[in-house]
Amino acid sequence: MAERKPVIAGNWKMFKTGSEAKSFLAELKGKISGVQGVEVVVAPPFTALAQAAEAIKGSAIGLAAQNLHWEEQGAFTGEIAPAMLKDVGCGYVIIGHSERRQFFGESDESVNRKVKAALKHGLIPIMCVGETLAEREGGKIKEVIERQVRKGLDGLGADANLILAYEPVWAIGTGKTASPEQAEEVHLMIRELLKQTPGPDFSSRTRILYGGSVKADNIKSLMAKPNIDGALVGGAALKADSFSGIIRFKD
Ligand code: PEP
């Protein structure tokens, strides 16, 4: 089986100015110095990306945007193109977060276009999927996840370099975490799905993160599961203490 380096990514959502990003990252760097074998990524808002890029220079922390537009450039007021993210220092981009699907009308089709655009520009997409509580209670987990994964990855080659994040919508920002067993069940399902398309090699090397109220005190049990390769963290990624506690899950 391919070795999959764990990823701990912090999604800052609409929090932190550029100067707040700078001081947060200075503090975080101090708290995680010496940590090895974990890929750490932060996703500040667009307006804080330049200052965040400056603050992480020389460290191993990666920079992600929270969204992008699939076009190269043009008359798309308010949108940001992939090349602009590369230019500011991003190596990753979150795509299809449930808040974007829920509040900004993102569809599996637009997610797919964004994933392709990110890959074309050498950005690593962190593509999010997840079911709502109603879908879970209606026995639709498999159907929903399968559709989101298949459509989101439609047309990709087996060599595509991306990260998936399973984020049950009912667990985001609610304090309700999926149990490690509930999460592992879906991660395994996704892993099996990926074996069919894009293929077995893609399946065994692609990191699948869990997201939904991850904290320093539940990360260890999640990471103990064989198909959970890291976490996408919201609330607990905003304080250096709690985020470094998650990053240091091996301690
Ligand atoms: C998220 O926003 O991706 C997330 C998982 O948020 P939280 O950790 O706050 O549930």
Of all protein residues, whose CA lies closest to atom 3 belonging to ligand 1? 234
For the stretch 92-130, pLDDT in tens is 999 999 999 999 999 999 999 999 999 999 999 999 999
198: closest CA among 142, 149, 156?
Answer: 156
39 is catalytic: no
Is residue 167 part of the annotated active site? The answer reads yes
User: pLDDT by residue (tens digit) across 207-247?
Assistant: 999 999 999 999 999 999 999 999 999 999 999 999 999 99
Q: Is residue 76 part of a domain?
A: yes
Domain with 218 in it: what CATH number? 3.20.20.70
Catalytic-labelled residue, pool 39, 97, 106, 131: 97
Q: How many CB atoms lie within 10 A of CB 237?
A: 26
Report the percent of the chain where pLDDT is more than 70: 99
Please choose from 172, 217, 228, 243 the residue to mutate so as to test ligand 1's pocket, defined by most ligand atoms within 8 A of CB: 172
How far apart are the C-alpha atoms of 117 and 220, rounded to whole Å? 34
Among 94, 77, 62, which residue's Cα sits nearest to residue 172?
A: 94
Q: What is the mean pLDDT of residues 53-76?
A: 98
Helix axes 240-247, 18-31, angle to 10 degrees: 40
Question: pLDDT-based confidence at 1, cuts 50/70/90?
Answer: low
Q: Please, which residues have CB within 8 angstroms of residue 215's CB and are 6 or more apart in sequence?
A: 177, 236, 242, 245, 246
* Summary mean pLDDT of the chain: 97
Residue with tokens 């969204």: 67
Q: Is residue 52 part of a domain?
A: yes
Q: Residue 153 falls within a domain, yes or no? A: yes
Cα(172) to centroid of ligand 1, in Å?
5
Look at residue 2 in the predicted model and tell me its pLDDT. 63
Structural domain including 146 reads 7-31+38-247
Minimum-distance ligand 1 atom for the alpha carbon of 211: 5
Determine the pLDDT at residue 175: 86
Q: What is the reported pLDDT for 62?
A: 98
pLDDT at 22 over 90: yes
Number of domains in the chain: 1
pLDDT of residue 50: 98
Is residue 2 included in any domain, yes or no? no
Atom 6, ligand 1: residue with shortest CA distance: 234
Arithmetic mean of pLDDT, 152-159: 96
User: Is 167 contained in some domain?
Assistant: yes
Closest atom, ligand 1, to C-alpha of 99: 2
Q: In this structure, is residue 1 part of a structural domain?
A: no
